[in-house]
């Protein structure tokens, strides 16, 4: 999947977190000229340009992106309230703008709308349950905005359970469906991975994987506050 071009570097933490939560791949650049120098082989999917700290450099980058042989779209400009007046007569440099401070989810909402409007879909396939987000394309797992450092099999076990919430699986079924029919490890393998997953989810979210006594495990059916 093509990454979003994000400016500046470091990218504002609250915006970066929302991109991660939304499952958007992105790469931060520190100078306008890097837009061409560091462009991925398959190009940028779009851009999120924050002008809050360096208005001149941000507008310079927007001009670069729009003056290309094939102008980059969409470009979402992020500004402070005091910068809104500077946008007049520059509307051709961006497709939409976001004024800070903003609701955390507004960035994702505006990006989703821009890609929908252009007839392109950027949002990857996700599994979302309350605080947990699994990106099925990048094998990333995030809980309450915190990235989890999972092994491949830990991720696969969590993905399998989360994709089937409320359904109970025996240890033997999990071994065959997650590890494969040719895996000869015992049922204890499942218990060990569940224990590690719960530890990495943290005490507050460990209940997402429930133990069903004398049967096996299921992904929790609890409710979460929005």
CATH number belonging to domain 126-219? 1.10.10.10
- The CATH architecture assigned to 4-117 reads 3-Layer(aba) Sandwich (3.40)
Closest CA to 140 of 10, 48, 128: 128
**8 or 21, which is more confident:** 8
Mean pLDDT on 97-120 = 81
> Rounded to an integer, what distance in angstroms lies between the CA atom of residue 68 and that of residue 134?
35
How many residues in the chain? 226
Mean pLDDT on 11-32 = 88
Mean pLDDT on 212-217 = 92
> Rounded to an integer, what distance in angstroms lies between the CA atom of residue 168 and that of residue 162?
11
Alpha helices in 48-181 (DSSP H): 55-66, 106-117, 152-162, 171-174
Summarised one tens digit per residue, pLDDT across range 171-206 is 989 988 888 755 666 778 999 999 999 999 999 999
The winner for highest mean pLDDT among 16-25, 50-59, 84-93, 121-130 is 50-59
pLDDT tier at 225 (50, 70, 90 boundaries)? very low
**CATH 1.10.10.10 in the chain, residues?**
126-219
**CATH 3.40.50.2300 in the chain, residues?**
4-117
């Amino acid at each position: 999947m093509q990454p979003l071009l994000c400016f500046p570097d470091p990218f504002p933490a609250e915006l970066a977190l929302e991109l991660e939560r939304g499952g958007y791949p992105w790469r931060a650049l520190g100078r306008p000229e890097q837009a061409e120098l560091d462009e991925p082989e398959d190009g940028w999917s779009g851009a999120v340009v924050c002008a809050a700290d360096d208005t001149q450099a941000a507008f310079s980058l927007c001009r670069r992106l729009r003056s290309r042989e094939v102008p980059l779209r969409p470009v979402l400009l992020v500004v402070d309230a005091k910068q809104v007046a500077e946008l007049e007569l520059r509307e051709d440099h961006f497709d939409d703008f976001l004024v800070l401070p903003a609701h955390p989810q507004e960035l994702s909402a505006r990006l989703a709308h821009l890609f929908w409007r252009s007839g392109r879909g950027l949002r990857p396939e996700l599994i979302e349950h309350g605080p947990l987000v699994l990106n099925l394309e990048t094998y990333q797992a995030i809980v309450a905005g915190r990235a989890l450092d999972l092994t491949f099999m830990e991720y696969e076990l969590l993905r399998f359970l989360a994709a089937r919430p409320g359904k109970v699986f025996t240890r033997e079924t999990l071994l065959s469906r997650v590890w494969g029919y040719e895996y000869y490890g015992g049922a204890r393998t499942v218990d060990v991975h569940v224990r590690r997953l719960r530890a990495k989810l943290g005490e507050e979210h460990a209940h997402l994987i429930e133990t069903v006594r004398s049967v096996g495990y299921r992904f929790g059916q609890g409710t979460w506050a929005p």
